[in-house]
Amino acid sequence: MNAFPTDAHLHITVEPRLTRHLSQTIQTVELLELNAEGLYEYLAQAAEANPMMLVQRTPLPELPLHARCEGFDVGDLGMHDEQELGAYLRRQLAFLKLRKEKARIAAYLVESLDENGFFREDCASAARELGVSEAAVKDALETVQSLEPAGIGARSLQECLLLQLRRLPQRNALAERIVGMHWELFLRRPRAGMLAGFLDVPQEKAEQALALIADLNPRPANGFSHDDPQYVIPDAYLINGEDGLHVQLVDSCTLTIDESYPSLFADTDDAQVRQFLSQCAYQAGRLQSRLFYRNALLQKILLVAAQQQAAYFVGGEKKPLRQKDVAALLGVNVSTISRAIQGKYISVDGRCIRVRELFSRPSAGNRARSTHSIQQQILALIEAEDPQRPLSDQKIHEQLAQSGVAVSRRLIAKYRALAQIPPAYARKITRESTGRNVVSAGGEKE
């Protein structure tokens, strides 16, 4: 395969025939969600109930997974490794028999968990990407958080510990109170005697509560495998031809209508048999049509993404590409795009890349880099602060604003907690008692 052009521009024309039938895409949603392997299983099941359908399977290739494909989803391939977190969670979700929409959201949340099992994305952003309400995302997140291991799907360390405490056979009200209501105090690692005096409880109970909290797992995904499997079945190939990029879908199977239908229909005078044959032929033809539009739409989605990310395929940076922009270009709902790319992979020069990796969040393509930069600025301000007059989160907010960095006090507190840096009043106490630098003592710079 030739090298991909790094200056490829986004050019795509929606054929009138496809545009006229975009109103029918709502009927292809179920097919859109299926990957190459799942599509065969779906059609084979349909053929079992319809004698007019003939489904022939095509051998599927297995290709190496691209090393940059993060968050690989083993469950999409039908593997059953008990040590793989995603597959383990999906099996639990399947057992719950959720409504289809809620199951789709929950699957997205599971796919979005980080290496520690935390859900770091904002619920509002996830709602926009999925084309659902924020309330629906929060409802599905509660379901994910109810799964094993306890603490999975938490949005913060505090929530992770609370989820585990609330799952204990014998709940400890004091431990829940410490984590839920006195988190900042807990981060200072107080002695049991000091904590007992502050909370007006016996020291023995404070010791028991602290010991219980210490036994909790701050990384619920620990113990599960995060290794990517070596091979994956692609859903499409990206081909770089002389006239530009092309996307060729993988044909996992072919669906045809039995050619003997006319003779079968002519050979019987039974009205019920004729009605049955006609209905079967109609349903087979309709499924063929839905399959055609599913493939046409998926092919166009992949082509848009491939053209935009041509440089990325040869080691360059990803460009911003929002699902909502692709949806607007093709005249479909953003949730249709989300369903179409979920769990799918595209083969590029003999390697497979997860399609979702080609899209960026609504904010920008360099969101992770921006977050890292803000965290570094916060750490630098704290490191340079007057030890006798530590900066409050509000003061940090104001100083960042003067530098043209807009970040809320809530996010500052979040980044500070992630770096294990206590609030201003606690930093002053820590420096006075230990003489150590808070940043180096509380957390390492990234």
- What average pLDDT does the segment 410-428 reach? 76
Q: Is residue 334 part of a domain?
A: yes
Same domain, residue pair 250 and 289: yes
Residue 63, pLDDT score: 54
Question: Between the ranges 27-31, 240-244, 287-291, where is the mean pLDDT highest?
Answer: 287-291
Of 174, 78, 79, 156, nearest to 117 by C-alpha is 156
pLDDT tier at 259, thresholds 50, 70, 90: confident
Residue 5 has pLDDT above 50, yes or no: no
- What average pLDDT does the segment 360-385 reach? 67
Residue-wise DSSP of 138-152:
HHHHHHHHTSSSTTT
The fraction of the chain above a pLDDT of 90, given in percent, is 12
CB 331 within 8 Å of CB 26 = no
Q: What is the CATH number of the domain that holds 113?
A: 1.10.10
Please give the residue range of the domain that contains residue 89.
Answer: 74-145
Distance separating alpha carbons of residues 137 and 326, to the nearest angstrom: 22
Tell me the per-residue pLDDT of 119-133, one tens digit each, with 9 for 90 and over.
988 898 888 888 899
Q: Is residue 10 part of a domain?
A: no
Range 143-172 burial, b when 16+ CB lie within 10 A, else e: bbbebebbbbbbbebbbbbbbbbeeeeeee
Residue 151, pLDDT score: 92
pLDDT tier at 303, thresholds 50, 70, 90: very high
Residue 406, pLDDT score: 67
Last residue of a domain, one of 169, 188, 214: 214
E-only strand ranges, 175-260: 231-232, 236-241, 244-249, 253-257
- What average pLDDT does the segment 243-271 reach? 79
pLDDT tier at 223, thresholds 50, 70, 90: low
Question: What radius of gyration do the chain's Cα atoms show?
Answer: 27
What is the pLDDT of the chain when averaged over all its residues?
A: 77
Q: Is residue 7 part of a domain?
A: no
CB 53 within 8 Å of CB 255 = yes
Residue 207 has pLDDT above 80, yes or no: yes
Which has the minimum average pLDDT: 198-207, 223-232, 346-355?
223-232
**Helix axes of 123-130 and 134-145: crossing angle, nearest 10 degrees:** 110
Same domain, residue pair 251 and 169: no
Helix (H) or strand (E) holding 368: helix 367-384
Classify 412 in phi/psi space as left (phi over 0), alpha (psi -120 to 50) or beta: alpha
Same domain, residue pair 345 and 412: no
φ and ψ at residue 329, rounded to 5 degrees = -65, -40
Q: Is residue 11 part of a domain?
A: no
CB 338 within 8 Å of CB 351 = no
Q: How far apart are the first and last CA of the chain?
A: 38
Q: Is residue 171 part of a domain?
A: yes
Same domain, residue pair 273 and 293: yes
Distance separating alpha carbons of residues 182 and 177, to the nearest angstrom: 7
Residue 270 has pLDDT above 50, yes or no: yes
φ and ψ at residue 151, rounded to 5 degrees = 100, -10
Tell me the per-residue pLDDT of 36-48, one tens digit each, with 9 for 90 and over.
878 888 888 888 8
pTM for this entry: 0.47
Q: Is residue 45 part of a domain?
A: yes
Residue 361 has pLDDT above 90, yes or no: no
Residue 62, pLDDT score: 54
User: What is the number of domains present in the chain?
Assistant: 4
